[in-house]
Structure 1
């Protein structure tokens, strides 16, 4: 029986990666070592491991790349304003609405992980029939 599934992202700066999600998105640290941090918010879990840690097999010790984490929220415009007010978040996709049912923006977390902050909205255009 599976009792849980959660992403563990390899990072070159575990502390900075964890701090981004605790400070920006309200995650709480549930386990912390100098090479690994486990975070939780409500029922959601996210962890970071040092990319050079010996538990990572040889040949795979590299920071996560090509990762896009979706964070769904109730009010994306408010989240955008809140994160922009910090003055230290890099936005790579400005807030916008998509016909495929999302109003969203994308920021970069430490290590290059993309975080897509999303509010579901009604489908429009060619996707309207999917409602």
Structure 2
């Protein structure tokens, strides 16, 4: 299992103002906009995949609260089973979302809700 990326998620109500702030101040580019979540990025790997990313969101999708982090992995089933076996609190079950990801939320030992996800092929 490998972690493919980690994205910080900032919750707020005025995504347009926040988007302009990060675009104009830091030169970040919008790489995804679903209305309720906007992801901005800078830089890219050899695979042309953004390295530094930040998401601004009014909700976590599917009516959930905005998680603190989103962590993309290459083997979601393995991570889900490891979280269950370790007894970590799953706050949102393993779900295939209509926007092309499969994910679950887990609470870390510091109390933060973390979105663990994988893009569907």
Q: Is the TM value for this pair above 0.5?
A: no
Pick the structure with greater CA Rg.
Answer: 1
Higher strand proportion (structure 1 or 2)? 2
Q: Greater RCO between the two (CA within 8 Å, min separation 6)? A: 2
After TM superposition, the score normalised by the length of structure 2 is 0.43
After TM superposition, the score normalised by the length of structure 1 is 0.40
